[in-house]
Amino acid sequence: MNRRKLLAAAAASAVVSGTARAAAAPPAKRAPNFIVVLCDDLGYGDCSLYGPGGLSTPHLEQMAREGVVATDYYSPANLCSPSRAGLLTGRYPVRTGLGYEVIMQQDDRGLPLSEVTIAKALKPAGYATALFGKWHLGHLGAAWPPTRHGFDAFFGIPYSHDMKPLALFESHAGSDETVRSEVDYPQLQEQFYSHAERFIEAHANQPFFVELALSAPHLPEHPHPGFDTQGYAGSYGAVVAEIDAMVGRLMAKLRALKLERDTVVVFTSDNGPWYEGSPGWLRERKGGGGFDGGYRVPFVAWAPGRLPAGKRTSSIMMGIDLLPTFVAMAGLPPLSGVELDGRDITSVLTKGAASPHEALILFDNEVPVAVRTQDWKYLDTLYYRGIKMPIGVFGYEELYDERGSRAENYSVSENHPDVVKAMKARLEAAKKAFAPYKHADIPQAFKTLNAQLGHIQD
């Protein structure tokens, strides 16, 4: 199908649905729109929300002044594909079959069509749904294109922009056909944003869910012309400045459309920073086992009139919580027949309530390696010189006090033996519970990759 026919079909669908909406009586109270701005590899210290030393992000600061900042929000995984699977399904990624590493170019894994995504879950309430940006949940099999997972529209890339070959694809619900176009790297984030903005304008009169899945600041950086690359953070800082500017444009657009009081906007990241970027004072980075630097990322929720302004919460939460929270806010009943790990955090955001989680489980690939409660973190595995070390074998008990802003540098296990015992039991229970989901072998794509890279190891 060529682009002209594809767009004509999409336009006809919009006209029909728009006519039906015009004829229908307006609802007594509108369900809120949901927009998730998901950055790629943005670290805890890559913005000016969590103390000095971060990059200047004035629009995020404005969003924070008008919304709720979470200080202890965890991405569903410390790597891209698993994290995105967890966010969209409300389940720990290992349950979806995508808990191991990321999906590579020749990797035939993908998000099962049986999984209920946020887009699917909101459909019974009449939501228009779209994903613009990076997918990275399967591109060779049944998982592709994303419009097979409840999205009405998709425009974006199949995986990270450092992977080759790379092209842009567009698809619409009702057809598995896609329109392919070439990538202009410096314009990529702007293209994602522009498509999202047009979708919002076109669906202003009905509830909608948009995932704006930016592929930045993931390396390599491709700064948009007009953003300064001469600062101390170089091109990385320019890309973060572009992201921040998009946040400002998004809030202004919602106000111009008079949708700000009908929309919940969430800004966050899929995991911590890679080789560049800053985890702030948190330990480790993307892929760094169960330490906070790979998992704990920025989170701001903005919804004037629905969420309080200028609030901060330290209640623990995770990306798996977005699905049950959006379902509840949309006035829908909880999903049935689906084993969710996420919890509804509406009261946390609206009232500053305690977390609904007793504990969050942190994985390294498909294996639980840490457990976080509100006050404590227990971890039994770390990386040393490229080796995955089960530190318990050496008699070390890594217990960290998470009360207040404390980095995970000093274990307090000797002072709290009872806490160690309880946390260790939680982690062992998690290992047992999730063991059946662990694959017996690694994906073929990684066997091939390991063979290719083996010669560069010491």
Q: What are the catalytic residues?
A: 80, 136
Instruction: Give how far Cα 240 sits from Cα of 53, 61, 157, 433, Å.
Output: 14, 13, 20, 39
3 state SS of 446 = helix
Distance CA 211, CA 25 (A): 28
Tokens of residue 289, six digits: 């086992």
Please report, as a single letter, which amino acid is at residue 123: K
| DSSP state for residue 321 in the 8-state scheme | G
CA dihedral 242, 243, 247, 252 (to 10 degrees): 20
Residue carrying structure tokens 């997972």: 149
Q: What is the CA radius of gyration of the chain?
A: 21
Written in H, E and C, the secondary structure of 231-262 is CCCHHHHHHHHHHHHHHHHHHHHHHHCCCHHH
Name the residue type at position 41. Answer: D
What does the alpha-carbon distance between residue 154 and residue 178 come to, in Å, rounded to a whole number? 9
CA–CA gap between residue 341 and residue 430 (Å, rounded) = 12
Residue 163 CA to residue 376 CA, distance in Å, equals 38
CA distance 50 to 298: 8
**Joined tokens for residue 298:** 């920025």
Query: Cα(129)–Cα(142) distance, rounded to whole angstroms?
Result: 20
Beta strands in 6-151 (DSSP E): 33-40, 68-70, 73-74, 128-134
Eight-state DSSP code of residue 332: P
Which tokens belong to 148? 């097979």
